[in-house]
Amino acid sequence: MSPAEYQFEFEGFVVKFDPARGAVSCVQIGMTPFVEDLYPAVRNAHWGTLEFQDAKVRIEEKVGEGAELFWSGDAIEDGKVAVKLEVHVTVQELKLRYDLIATPQYDFQTCRTGFCVLHNPDEVHAERVVVTHTDGTQTRGAFPTLISPHEPFFDIQRLEHEVVGHVVSFEFEHEVFEMEDQRNWSDYSYKTYGRPSRLPRPYPLPAGVPVHQSVTVTVAKNPMDRRYYSDHARVTNDTRTAIDDPFGHAMTLWSYADDTADQFRSGIVELLKHDPRPLVWLLGDPGDRLQVIAEMEMDVVGVVLADYSTLEANLPGFRQLLPKVQFIAGSAGNFTELNRNRPSRSWDGVAFCASPDVHQTHEKAIDRTTSTWSFQVETARSWGFEVVHLGPIRCPNGHHMFQYQASRARDEARLCTTASYWELD
């Protein structure tokens, strides 16, 4: 039986490999992990993540020279092998190379087939970045501290950043890469992935035509030349803030657009037995449901309107009906929707859902989901809002955006110990 994880260390350069996923599960300098995951991903036409089966690994170590790993596995869709995967990893002193070959076994529609690199925000947020583009030009910047609504870097051929006094470089081959800020989706990482998001999806992979992607990670012991960054000062303060009791109002009523006034009233009556001052989320046109709140003279924390962008013109009428109630712009999906369509200051606050299992489904990624909350709250406050509501964690009836799993029946993240504490449906 293969171990759950292999570890290789050369002069303080540590690489860990997960044989079940064909993934480099950690790259670190000494005790500092700057890469959280480097993994192959096969998504179907609906962004479902295909499971891997028949994983095999072979390792060759040469004393004083390094190690090579050869991994293979099958990505399964509807009980059939959709894509065969081969991974070749070379580990040397201060250098790692990861090669992926993915070969479709039939004409396969995909939204993403390739590898992704997850950069660790604990170690790299606000660090300087130099991106070399495919045309040879360069962009200087930094990993964002506040959550970037869109991709912070595009058209990446080479990416360099500093960590614990070293320069780390990522040299990508055979595809155009870009980066997104996954904290938008409650995933605690910056993700670099292949095939730009501006291109059409899904896209076809012809049977038998391999997809080849490579990245070489190199660590240099000398820090970056500070003069090169004279036009981009490093953010030195840590803007992450503690969230004071985010579940101060634990009870939330989640009401769908097709709820009748009577159904909504029944839900309110039941909720008031447990919490005399709830938070009310309304999807769709609030219609008669606001009238019910007025008739019952409810004392609510606030009313969250998930369709805020189309309802702002109606705010004066809502306030006339409920003059003491805070009206809050909310996202029924993730923080992303608010961040990319930021509400005006006409609203009294913002609200959004958080999820422990949007992209990565293993325990480590889920455990770190809570680390995104302070960044999300701080980003929302930077828009001028003091009132920020986080939750519910998972909306009922699968309304939350969980299309990422190929099989909802085997949503491993929902079954794991950590996520079980978060269930609300």
Query: pLDDT (tens digit, 9 = 90+) per residue, 305-351?
Result: 999 999 999 999 999 999 999 999 998 778 898 999 999 999 999 99
101-113 pLDDT tens trace: 999 999 999 999 9
Angle at 214 between CA 210 and CA 220, to 5 degrees: 175
d(CA 206, CA 57): 27
Cis-peptide into 152, omega within 30 deg: no
Banded model confidence at residue 417, pLDDT cuts 50, 70, 90: very low
| Lookup: tokens for 298 | 């409810």
Q: What integer pLDDT is reported at residue 293 of this predicted model?
A: 93
What does residue 224 show for φ and ψ, rounded to 5 degrees?
-65, 155
d(CA 234, CA 5): 36
Mean pLDDT of 171-175: 98
pTM: 0.84
Position 376, amino acid: Q
Q: How does the average pLDDT of the chain come out, rounded? A: 84
Length of the chain: 425
The CA distances from residue 353 to 21, 52, 216, 384, 388, in Å, are 29, 30, 37, 19, 11
Choice among 302-311, 340-349, 364-373, 388-397 with the minimum mean pLDDT:
388-397
186-223 pLDDT tens trace: 888 999 999 999 999 999 999 999 999 999 999 997 66
256-302 pLDDT tens trace: 888 899 999 998 888 888 888 888 989 999 989 999 999 999 888 89
d(CA 84, CA 119): 26
63-121 pLDDT tens trace: 677 899 999 999 999 999 999 999 999 999 899 999 999 999 999 999 999 999 999 99
Q: Could you tell me the maximum CA-CA distance found in the chain, to the nearest angstrom?
A: 78
Short-list 94, 178, 161, CA closest to 125: 161
CA atoms within 13 A on the CB side of 188: 21
| Lookup: tokens for 56 | 């095999």
24-41 pLDDT tens trace: 999 999 999 999 999 999
| Lookup: tokens for 297 | 């003279």
Res 407 pLDDT > 80: no
Q: What integer pLDDT is reported at residue 362 of this predicted model?
A: 60
Domains and CATH numbers, the chain: 6-225 (2.70.98.10), 252-420 (3.20.20)
Q: What integer pLDDT is reported at residue 353 of this predicted model?
A: 80
